[in-house]
Amino acid sequence: MTLPTPEPIERWIIVFTGFLQEGRLSGLEKIEHAIHQQCNCDSTRVILKSWQDSPGAVASRIWNRQPEGHPPAIVIIGFSYGGFTAVLLARELGKRGLKIETMLLIDPVWRWLAELPSVLSLGSWWEINVPKTVRTLFAWFQKVDRPRGHRLIVDENHTLYFPKTLKRTHNQMDDAEEVYKKALLVACPERKTA
C-alpha cells in the first residue's frame, strides 16, 4: 500500500510556550486552542511547540509542505523563552528563503542556545535581534518581576507595532486579553474572531 502524499500547507501558525508551561493549561495553550478552532481547515496548520523544540526541525517541516508557486503564510507566537525560540525559527526560515507574515512576542526572554534555562537570562542587558524576514511584529512586555522580556532590535524593514507594557507579572503575560485578541486577529484574519 502506498501512503498518500500530504497536501501543501498554505498557512502555518506556530505557538511556542515558555519555561515551565508544560503540564498546565497556560494562556498560550488557550490561544493555540482558540486559533485552531477559528482557523481549522485543511490548508492551515496550528502547532503548539515547547521553547525547547528545535527551530530547525520546525523550519524543515514548513519547507517540505510548501504550496507550489508561492510561499506559505507564516505566523509565529512566542512567550518568554518561547519568544526567543520564535526568533530562532524566523532565522531558520530566513535561511530557507521564507518570510514571516506576523510575529507576536510576549515578554520574550533571551537565553543560551542550550536546552536548559540559565540564570543569565535574568540580566537586563541582553538584546534579541529580530530577523529581517519578519514583516510585522507585535510585542508586549512587563516590568513587575523577573525574568523580564529583553529589548528587541529591529530595523527599517519591520512594521513594528510599538511594544506595549502591561501591568502583569511575567507568568501572567500570556493570559492578557489583548494578547489573546490580537493573536486570534492576526492568525486567521479572514475569519471572524471568537
Each residue's pLDDT tens digit, 104-159: 999 999 987 766 677 878 778 899 999 999 999 999 999 999 899 999 998 876 67
Mean pLDDT of 9-24: 86
Band (pLDDT 50/70/90 cuts) for residue 19 is confident
More confident site: 1 or 148: 148
Distance CA 147, CA 111 (A): 11
**Do residues 29 and 18 touch, judged by C-beta distance below 8 A?**
no
Sign of CA dihedral 182, 184, 188, 192: negative
Question: Hey, where are the domains in the chain?
Answer: 11-187
More confident site: 113 or 7: 7
The residue with cell 508551561 is 21
pLDDT of residue 34: 93
pLDDT of residue 191: 64
CATH of domain 11-187: 3.40.50.1820
Which segments within 64-183 are labelled E, that is strand? Answer: 73-79, 100-106, 127-129, 134-142, 151-153, 159-166
pLDDT at 23 over 80: no
